[in-house]
Structure 1
Amino acid sequence: MGNDPGPLEARLAGRLSELRLEHGWSLEELARRAGVSRSTLSRLERGEISPTAALLGKLCAAYGRPMSRLLAEVEPEPPQLVRAERQPVWRDRETGFTRRSVSPPHPGLRGEVIEGVLEPGADIAYEEPAVAGLEHHLLVLDGAVELTVGGAVHAVRPGDCLRYRLWGPSRFVNPGPGPVRYVLLIVLP
């Protein structure tokens, strides 16, 4: 897990604690539902650690919301236009994943555009989608990614676009040698 949480991680820690309380769950109950240790959840909610992409994926699945919505909830109400330098960026240094929210997220809208960068060797597995049936369109800009969806492995190269609905586990792997940069359009069912 990452160290030294920044302002976004601090707001995220607070929101995760609020979500658990809104659901009326103890740390033990959330640990059981998400498959994450109670001590990790406690440290995360206190802002002592930064979550990894896999950990956020498990928590989003337990709460039944996409990661984009969770991250949007910790940002102030966005304007319709967000300049590149003002787009929220989240980094999982442990796995080499950087996520930039390109489109202004809004809880009332169904679609969002995300830019992702995976460093060489990055391997991120999600046990289940935060929301079953999420529609994804993955467009690779640079590099290549191996994406496993529904048990099938797809090698996606620059200019390729993979469209899929997410019902089960998924895995993003950058076999290298360089980073992979992609755009992901997510549409709620």
Structure 2
Amino acid sequence: MTEQESVPESTPQQTIAAGLRRERARSGLSLTEVAKRAGIAKSTLSQLESGSGNPSIETLWALCTALGIPFSNLLDPPQPQVRVIRAGQGPEVASSTSRYRATLLAAAPPNVRRDLFRITAEPGHPRDSDPHLHGSVEHVLLAAGRAMVGPADDPAELHPGDYICYPGDRPHVFEALEPGTWGMLASDFI
């Protein structure tokens, strides 16, 4: 039997703040330059780096694009050898424009660029995503509900067990068609 390590829980805001500080320092960019590249206010980035902000998925993706990093770099603190994330737990961020949430389940180890998320969504407003890093590809496996998923100009209707793969570096959408819709999302970065 493998022994599991216990990792102290931190809030998503604390994890994101530490990730932003770490990645901005690694990039050598100033607070002003990163905010400008992401199209957000410098004060917003300052709040996020201090852990006092509550960012949307859209803001985090813009920052990741500005820093040239995968989304998981902001949410993935050092991990133990064996990791269990119970349903309803894990670092979760929400969309500011739809009832869509993403929970990072696994980030790619060094030299592999793949992130794995559990996503949940409710009908109402679709989650319209701007293009991510050049060459990125997204994979979605729907577990429950129904959803329109894929390129913004040609999404496919998915049912439980259906899978779709599409370019993440083009506008894309995830729109829940039934309550309780959820699935798995893997993002590859080339």
Partner Cα separation in structure 2 for residue 125 and residue 93 of structure 1 = 10
Displacement of 1:76 in angstroms is 1.8
Q: 2:116 aligned with 1:109, yes or no?
A: no
* Paired residues, number: 179
Q: 2:103 aligned with 1:100, yes or no?
A: yes
Q: Is the 8 A contact 1:69 1:107 kept in 2?
A: no
Structure-2 change in CA distance of 1:182 and 1:78 (3 Å): same
What are the equivalent positions in structure 2 for 1:90-169 lying under 5 Å apart?
Answer: 90-92=92-94, 94=96, 95-103=98-106, 105-129=108-132, 131-149=133-151, 151-169=153-171
Partner Cα separation in structure 1 for residue 185 and residue 57 of structure 2 = 15
Displacement of 1:36 in angstroms is 1.4
Q: Cα RMSD (Å) of the superposition?
A: 2.5
Q: 2:56 aligned with 1:52, yes or no?
A: yes
Aligned to 1:3: none
Aligned to 2:183: 182
Q: Is the 8 A contact 2:11 2:91 kept in 1?
A: no
Q: Is the 8 A contact 1:69 1:105 kept in 2?
A: no
Higher mean C-alpha deviation, range 54-63 or range 97-106? 97-106
Structure-2 change in CA distance of 1:9 and 1:122 (3 Å): farther
Aligned to 2:27: 23
- Structure 2: runs of 5+ lacking an equivalent: 1-9
TM-score of the aligned structures, taking structure 1 as reference length: 0.79
Aligned to 2:80: 78
TM-score of the aligned structures, taking structure 2 as reference length: 0.79
Q: Which amino acid aligns with 2:120?
A: V
What are the equivalent positions in structure 2 for 1:22-41 lying under 5 Å apart?
Answer: 22-41=26-45
Displacement of 1:144 in angstroms is 1.8
1:123-147 deviations in Å (ceiling 9; x for gaps): 3233220x22222221111112222
Q: Is the 8 A contact 1:54 1:124 kept in 2?
A: no
Displacement of 1:107 in angstroms is 3.2
Task: State, as a whole percentage, how many aligned pairs show the same letter.
Answer: 26
